[in-house]
Every structure is written in C-alpha cells, then in structure tokens.
C-alpha cells in the first residue's frame, strides 16, 4: 500500500502511535464534518426560535398600527428589526457551514485535501469571529474544529508534499461567504413579510410624525 493510502486509510503504528494514538485522515475529516453539521443543527434551532419570535412581534406591530398606537408600534418594529438582523446573520452562517460540510463530504482522496481544506479553514475563522458575538459558547467548538482542520492539512501536506495556496484559498473562501450572504438575503425576503414604513403609516392615519 502506498504512503498516501496508508495515511488516508490506516492508523499509525509503532512506538510513537502507542504514546499518541493517531486516527486515519479519512476518519479525521469525517469527524470534522460531523462537528460542523452539529453546529448547523444548533444554528437551525436558534433560527426556528427567532422565527417564532418574529411572528409574535409582527402581530404586535400590526395590532398597534390598527389601534393607531404609533409609539408602541415603533417600539415593536425596532425590536423586530433587531430580530431579523440577527436571524439574517445566523442564516448566513448556517448556509456557509452547509457549504463547508458539503466540501468536507466530497473529499475522497488524499491528493485534494489541502486544496479543499484551505478555504474551508478561512470560512470557519470568519464564522467563528462573527458567531461568538451572539453565542460566546460556540467559540470553543469552532476553535477546536479549526484546529482539527489545520492538523489534517499539515498531515496531508507532509504526506503528499502539496501545500495550500493561501491566496487562492482566500478568494475561494470569500466566494463561499458571498454566495451564502446572497442566498440568506433572498430567503429572508421570501420568508418574512415586510413592515409598512412608519412614515407612510403616520401620514395615512393623520397622526403627528
């Protein structure tokens, strides 16, 4: 069996392996994919909770409008705007992570590990920085996933002699993030009704601005 195949499929053996047991690269990538998918599920749950909050707030805004209680409507509308901002942000992260998980699942040979993982690692760094502002507890998990991916890249690079092109990786990472942002924005528009502008409502009701 070639050196590539052994590193990809088999755990290391010998004295060094007894001191620090190693698992094959394929299994490490599988582990990384599962941990990323767990974060997707976590974000999805948070988005579902915010969706319910959105519905409740939207109803309160509509009721306040109908009763001409514009100050109360404004308070609810501002809160709703913050909920939607957070939801858009989390949906963006969720979509980017879905693309990360998909790419991890498509790695089928040792030779393309560094090319696939380099942009993925940068995407995760971006998401970690952003998501931890909302979920401080998520920082540790994202840090551990990033460390695992870096470990895989180093090991794959040592085995294949193929090092990542970080300039290309940065461009690819930005492309993944941009695609996620576009889809997230479109989904928000499709999923949530738009509120009427407060200025227009004031004018229609003859209320003072």
Per-residue pLDDT of the chain (209 residues; tens, 9 = 90+): 445 455 555 555 555 444 455 678 888 899 999 999 999 999 999 999 999 999 999 999 999 988 888 899 999 999 999 999 999 989 999 999 999 999 998 886 666 788 888 899 889 988 888 887 777 778 888 889 989 998 888 888 887 777 777 788 889 999 999 999 999 999 998 888 887 665 444 444 444 43
Task: Judge contact between 25 and 152, C-beta under 8 A.
Answer: yes
What integer pLDDT is reported at residue 166 of this predicted model? 74
What integer pLDDT is reported at residue 82 of this predicted model? 93
Among 86, 66, 64, CA closest to 75? 64
Provide the total of helices (H) and of strands (E) in the chain, helices listed first. Answer: 8, 0
Q: Which secondary-structure segment (H or E) carries 118?
A: helix 113-131
What integer pLDDT is reported at residue 37 of this predicted model? 95
Quote the CA–CA distance of 12 and 21 in Å, as a whole number.
7
Q: Which pTM value belongs to this model?
A: 0.78
Quote the CA–CA distance of 144 and 147 in Å, as a whole number.
5
Q: Strand, coil or helix: what is 155?
A: helix
């Amino acid at each position: 069996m070639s050196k590539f195949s052994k590193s990809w499929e088999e755990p290391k053996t010998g004295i060094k392996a007894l001191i620090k047991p190693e698992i094959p690269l394929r299994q490490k990538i599988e582990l990384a994919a599962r941990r990323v998918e767990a974060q997707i599920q976590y974000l999805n749950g948070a988005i579902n909770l915010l969706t319910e909050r959105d519905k409740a707030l939207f109803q309160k805004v509509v009721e306040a409008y109908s009763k001409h209680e514009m100050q109360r409507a404004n308070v609810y509308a501002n809160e709703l705007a913050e909920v939607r901002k957070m939801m858009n942000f989390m949906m963006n992260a969720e979509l980017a992570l879905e693309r990360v998980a998909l790419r991890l699942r498509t790695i089928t040979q040792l030779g393309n590990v560094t090319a696939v993982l380099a942009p993925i690692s940068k995407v995760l760094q971006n998401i970690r920085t952003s998501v931890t502002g909302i979920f401080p507890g998520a920082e540790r998990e994202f840090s551990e996933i990033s460390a695992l991916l870096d470990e895989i890249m180093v090991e794959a690079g040592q085995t294949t002699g193929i090092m990542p092109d970080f300039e290309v990786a940065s461009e690819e990472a930005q492309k993944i993030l941009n695609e996620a942002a576009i889809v997230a924005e479109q989904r928000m528009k499709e999923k949530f009704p738009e509120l009427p502008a407060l200025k227009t409502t004031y004018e229609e009701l003859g209320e003072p601005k």
